[in-house]
Copies of this chain bind each other. A is one copy, B any other.
Amino acid sequence: MTPEATLARFREYMVGPARFMNLLSCFELGLIDTLRENPGMTAAKLGDAVGVKPDAVEQLLFLMVKEDFVAYDEGSGGYSLDALAAVDKGDLQRALAYMNLIKVVMLRQVFYLTDSVRTGKLAGLKELYGFDGNLYGAVAEHQDLRESWSKLMDNVTARIDPWFFEHVDIPPGARVLDVAGNTGLGAIHTYELKKSPGLRVTTFDLPEKEKECLENFQAHGVAEHCSFIGGDVFEEIPKGFDVVLIKHFLDMFDKDEVFKILDGVHRSLEVGGQVNIMVPVYPEDIKDPGYYTVDFFPTFFLGCTMGQGGAQKLSTYQSWLEECGFEVTKAVAKAPADIPSDVIPLPGIVCATKIA
């Protein structure tokens, strides 16, 4: 790579924040929806329609035209949707939910990335919200964070859980523990997708989740098959279960903490007991240009959600499980071809059995 190519790549990075908000703002202002319904509008008419000065409309649409998202007709001065016209509405909604998350949970917070990395604490949440703690605590107190976060998470869970349960073996009548199971959604999915006589699923999380979790079990009609245990995963993981699930959790922690969790699971299971983990994973070849995970998750975890943690390669999780006394029976990751082309995370699953 020549110095010129390196500096040109820096320039790509430099325009990143501006490009991101220029695109999102065109949606937020209603420019895209207005053009969808009224193709051919001029900047003056568009400005009238959305309550923005025509000069600003023109400025924001330059980039949309450059990208062929929007077409501009020199003769009439009219704009219409170009590539954006052909994008499925559901796909667009998914992408916009992600963009909203990035705006609300990342854009301002990453300003403080260096401080967050130095202290291991989220300097951004402290500065912007006066909040001491991680994003998962902050969403409980701040509506803007909560809304953008839960909207995205509900989407992700709905899309990913069926794939997880396709790959994970839950023997009939098993006793299943969903570690860090939050307010029960994972347990509900487990029961609904893996129903068998005698199957019992228990959500394990901090005691303050119990009330909402039990209400969720009631609302989904699974209260007879699901239960809740309150506790701290770093102190003791409950015994008496055949299968442990750990979904969207290990990536929140540095290696030491991941080992504490895996050791705890190991202690809680009998020999032959199973653990199934799901996490976003980095590609085995970090340089693979088809993957966007290392472009996103280090900053996301270190600067915006935890002040620590981050995803790993699937092979790293495999070897960590082996180091903790498990035999890996399955390791599978989604490839870019398996997911929509706007989606950044690629989930991986590792299934393992306690051997000693």
Contacts and interface: CB of A to CB of B under 8 A. Distances in A.
Interface of A: 1-11, 13-25, 28-29, 51-53, 55-56, 58-60, 62-63, 65-69, 72, 82-84, 86-88, 91, 95, 98-99, 102-103, 106-108, 110-111, 113-114, 117-118, 120, 254-255, 282, 286-287, 289, 292, 294-303, 308-310, 340-344
Contact of A13 (B23, B55, B118, B254): B23
Nearest to A340: B7
Contacts of A286: 62, 65-66, 72
B110 A303 contact: no
A324 to B, nearest CB: 17
Contacts of A99: 10, 13-14
15 contacts: A3-B91, A14-B20, A15-B16, A15-B292, A17-B20, A17-B299, A29-B114, A52-B118, A53-B117, A55-B255, A56-B120, A56-B308, A59-B297, A65-B287, A107-B111
Residue among A3, A7, A11, A21 with max Cβ neighbours from chain B (10 Å): A21
Contacts of A254: 53, 55-56
Contacts of A91: 3, 7
Q: How many copies of this kind of chain does the complex include?
A: 2
Given A17-B16, A63-B298, A113-B21, A310 B10 contact: no
A193 to B, nearest CB: 28
Residue among A51, A52, A62 with max Cβ neighbours from chain B (10 Å): A62
A88 B6 CA distance: 11
Contacts of A18: 102, 106, 110, 295-296, 298-300
B343 A29 contact: no
Contacts of A301: 59
Contact of A60 (B29, B63, B298): B298
Contact of A11 (B6, B103, B107, B343): B343
A25 B300 CA distance: 13
Question: DSSP class of A's interface residues: helix, strand, loop or mixed?
Answer: helix
A18 B106 CA distance: 8
Contacts of A68: 1, 287
A255 B308 CA distance: 48
A17 B102 contact: yes
A57 to B, nearest CB: 9
B13 A299 contact: no
Nearest to A50: B118
Given A1-B68, A7-B95, 19 more contacts: A3-B87, A3-B88, A3-B91, A7-B87, A13-B19, A14-B20, A14-B98, A14-B342, A15-B295, A17-B110, A18-B298, A18-B299, A21-B303, A25-B117, A29-B117, A60-B302, A63-B295, A68-B287, A107-B108
Contacts of A10: 23, 95, 99, 342
Contact of A62 (B58, B108, B282): B282
Contacts of A114: 24-25, 28-29
